[in-house]
């Protein structure tokens, strides 16, 4: 970008960057206005995110953390110090990046948006209590606190047990052949088998032929006898050694398979060991709370005839309609408890205002109970954006990473309205974006390019959107102003059809659908229509089950037990699976799992 053009589009007040060299940025100098919607454009890999997140946000975070004590600083996920000479005029910054939900179903739409906190306060102060039941504090309506969690399932909504079938999947094997799969695989399992030899149990007899009482004792006993172990000897040699009272190799303590599984799950700090023993545990709905995760006292309190779990399972659209009369003061007044009516109206007003933003962003199909691992990165980012609209912050820079991701063009207008509300509150918005409608709505464009990687890293243009039309090197200009024609293609004939019947998952209810094989198929629809539920969840799980793939190998690293709490996919494959030899899932999860991971 020439010096004359920089002078021509220099903002009166703004952020001034000098000598930015983060990743592929080539000693970039640029000035960006504040109190405006600034969109960073360019092809993938051009350096947009390196400038917006790696430089501007990283420096804002670094300056903020300098005022924080070293003890508190370690709790933050700190970005590396950016490679830049100077940044002036940079306000405090908040980053809303594309990322997956936290890998636990205890994190939900309600917790991310903090709406659950308001709902709990509503039930505590304005709920309908049974006669003679004392007041419950808001904490008693959360399954993640000791005051509210069901004492039987500890707030999971499910209880877990081990069975003979789960711990001994193949009863034709002998104990020596590792029929008890739940025992450790290495020395620990061999130790238990050697102890059984000392106890006189036939480890070479098929499991199914052992007496039922003996099988039950081996798997479920709480006894832990300590006996001499003669490692490496046959059962006959061990019997003779015991008779001669030979010196044992060591004294071994027996542990039943159940005790090993539950003890390891409760006490181990190893994620891999916990994951291994989880496969031997069977989950079912808790009989005490019936899957609602709360104590009976908490579930006995109602609002509008619903307990708090039933209310949290309503779509946000229905939730807003339910609270609107209370917010408008149109419900029946309680003359005996005017303070209850006042609390009810104030909380309802806040809820309706917050829910309106979520509905405008096209998220009305979600429920407060929906767990974040089931959300797309775009949905999660828009939830956080809606929360920021009501944060009452001003003078802040919001750095957003493609907020239109996963959003249907029909919903883009609502997204732009939310961004305008943040800007009108006195904030600046730095948005990395490819969506043309968002780019056209910008007050200022910073175009980075001209290409990706080593061929990028230069600021081609910084100024109002109209000025980008004069930048010949910009690939954004060609799509923003010229509208290149779409290439014509002749449709190809499918090699077959993959037919699914009765698919049920989230908002899908008994769906029948056919996918052509041997073609590239695009599944479209507005946000929340069920695209991800159909393709990323139902289709993947049904095909994986028919091919014999382990579903957990293609899911997030969520806790295995919590993941089993999800409603299983309904439906079946009626045709075409015989033409599929392999299932490969490509999603938006990070490829690397540790800082040592790289492209090689």
- Residues in a beta bridge with 282: 161
Where do you find CATH 1.20.1580.10 in the chain?
109-128+302-360
Average pLDDT per 10 consecutive residues for the chain, totaling 600 residues: 48 85 94 95 94 95 88 84 94 82 71 93 93 92 92 87 91 92 88 91 93 94 92 90 90 93 85 85 88 94 94 94 89 69 90 91 88 78 84 90 81 86 93 93 95 93 93 90 76 92 88 94 83 88 82 46 54 91 80 66
What confidence score (pLDDT) does residue 99 get?
A: 64
Per DSSP, the three-state class of 509 is strand
In this structure, what is the dihedral angle of CA atoms 40, 42, 46, 51, given to the nearest 10 degrees?
A: -10
What confidence score (pLDDT) does residue 285 get?
A: 87
Where do you find CATH 1.10.8.280 in the chain?
164-280
What confidence score (pLDDT) does residue 567 get?
A: 54
Helix 257-267 to helix 212-220 angle (10° resolution) is 20
- Residues in a beta bridge with 164: none
Q: Based on the number of CB atoms within 10 Å of its own CB, is 12 exposed (0-12), middle (13-18) or buried (19 or more)?
A: exposed
What confidence score (pLDDT) does residue 594 get?
A: 63
Contacts of 532 (CB under 8 A, 6+ apart): 376
The CATH classification of domain 496-579, taken from the options 3.90.1150.10, 1.10.150.120, 3.90.76.10, 3.40.50.300: 3.40.50.300
Token pair, residue 207, equals 């499991």
What confidence score (pLDDT) does residue 228 get?
A: 92
What confidence score (pLDDT) does residue 6 get?
A: 46
Q: How far is CA 458 from CA 43, 47, 121, 546, in A?
A: 12, 8, 51, 50
Question: Which contacts (CB < 8 Å, 24+ apart) does range 579-587 have?
Answer: 579/495, 579/496, 579/498, 579/517, 580/498, 580/517, 580/543, 580/547, 582/547, 583/540, 583/543, 583/544, 583/547, 583/549, 583/554, 585/536, 585/540, 585/554, 587/536
Other residues' Cβ atoms within 10 Å of the Cβ of residue 249? 14
The CATH classification of domain 3-100+375-482, taken from the options 3.40.50.300, 3.40.50.1980, 1.20.1440.120, 3.30.750.24: 3.40.50.300
CATH superfamily of 164-280: ABC transporter ATPase domain-like (1.10.8.280)
Where do you find CATH 3.40.50.300 in the chain?
3-100+375-482, 496-579
What confidence score (pLDDT) does residue 102 get?
A: 53
DSSP 597: -
**Architecture label for domain 109-128+302-360:** Up-down Bundle (1.20)
């Amino acid at each position: 970008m020439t010096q004359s053009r920089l002078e021509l589009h220099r903002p009166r007040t703004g952020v001034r960057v000098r000598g930015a060299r983060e990743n592929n940025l080539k000693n970039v100098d640029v000035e960006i206005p504040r109190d405006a919607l600034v969109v960073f454009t360019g092809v993938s890999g051009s350096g947009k995110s390196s400038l917006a997140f790696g430089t501007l946000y990283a420096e804002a975070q670094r300056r903020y953390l300098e005022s924080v004590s070293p003890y508190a600083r370690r709790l933050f996920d700190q970005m590396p110090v950016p490679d830049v000479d100077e940044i002036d005029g940079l306000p405090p910054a908040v980053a809303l990046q594309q990322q997956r939900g936290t890998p636990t179903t205890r994190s939900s739409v309600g917790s991310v948006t903090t709406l659950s906190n308001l709902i709990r306060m509503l039930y505590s102060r304005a709920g309908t209590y049974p006669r003679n039941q004392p007041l419950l504090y808001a904490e008693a309506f959360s399954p993640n606190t000791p005051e509210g969690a069901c004492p039987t399932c500890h707030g999971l909504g499910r209880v877990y047990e081990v069975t003979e079938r789960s711990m001994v999947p193949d009863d034709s094997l002998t104990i020596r052949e590792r029929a008890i799969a739940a025992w450790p695989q290495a020395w620990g399992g061999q130790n238990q088998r050697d102890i059984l030899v000392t106890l006189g149990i036939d480890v070479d007899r098929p499991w199914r032929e052992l007496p039922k009482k003996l099988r039950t004792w081996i798997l479920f006993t709480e006894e832990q006898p300590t006996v001499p172990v003669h490692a490496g000897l046959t059962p006959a040699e061990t019997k003779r050694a015991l008779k001669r009272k030979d010196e044992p190799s060591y004294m071994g303590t027996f542990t039943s398979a159940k005790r090993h599984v539950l003890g390891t799950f409760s006490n181990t700090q190893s994620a891999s060991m916990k994951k291994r023993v989880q496969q031997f545990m069977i989950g079912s709905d808790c009989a005490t709370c019936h899957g609602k995760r709360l104590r009976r006292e908490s579930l006995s309190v109602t609002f509008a005839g619903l307990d708090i779990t039933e209310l949290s399972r309503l779509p946000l659209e229905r939730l807003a309609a339910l609270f609107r009369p209370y917010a408008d003061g149109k419900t029946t007044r309680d003359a005996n408890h005017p303070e209850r009516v006042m609390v009810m109206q104030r909380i309802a007003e806040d809820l309706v205002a917050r829910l309106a933003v979520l509905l405008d962003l096209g998220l009305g199909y979600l429920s407060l109970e929906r767990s974040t691992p089931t959300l797309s990165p775009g949905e999660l980012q828009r939830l956080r954006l809606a929360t920021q609209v009501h944060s009452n912050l001003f003078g802040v820079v919001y750095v957003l990473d493609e907020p239109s991701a996963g959003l249907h063009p029909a919903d883009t207008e609502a997204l732009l309205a939310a961004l305008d509300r943040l800007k009108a509150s006195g904030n600046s918005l730095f948005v990395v974006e490819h969506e043309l409608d968002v780019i056209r709505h910008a007050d200022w464009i910073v175009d980075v390019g001209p290409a990706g990687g080593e061929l990028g890293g230069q600021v081609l243009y910084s100024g109002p959107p109209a000025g980008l039309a004069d930048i010949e090197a910009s690939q954004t200009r060609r799509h923003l102003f010229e509208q290149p024609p779409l290439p014509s293609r002749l449709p190809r004939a499918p090699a077959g059809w993959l037919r699914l019947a009765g698919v049920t998952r989230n908002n899908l209810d008994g769906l029948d659908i056919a996918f052509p094989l041997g073609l590239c198929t695009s599944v479209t629809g507005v946000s929340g229509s069920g695209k991800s539920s159909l393709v990323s969840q139902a289709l993947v799980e049904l095909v994986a089950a028919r091919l014999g793939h382990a579903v957990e190998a293609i899911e997030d690293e969520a806790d295995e037990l919590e993941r089993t709490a999800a409603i299983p996919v309904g439906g079946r494959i009626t045709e075409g699976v015989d033409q599929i030899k392999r299932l490969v899932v490509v999603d938006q999860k990070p490829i690397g799992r540790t800082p040592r991971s790289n492209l090689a």
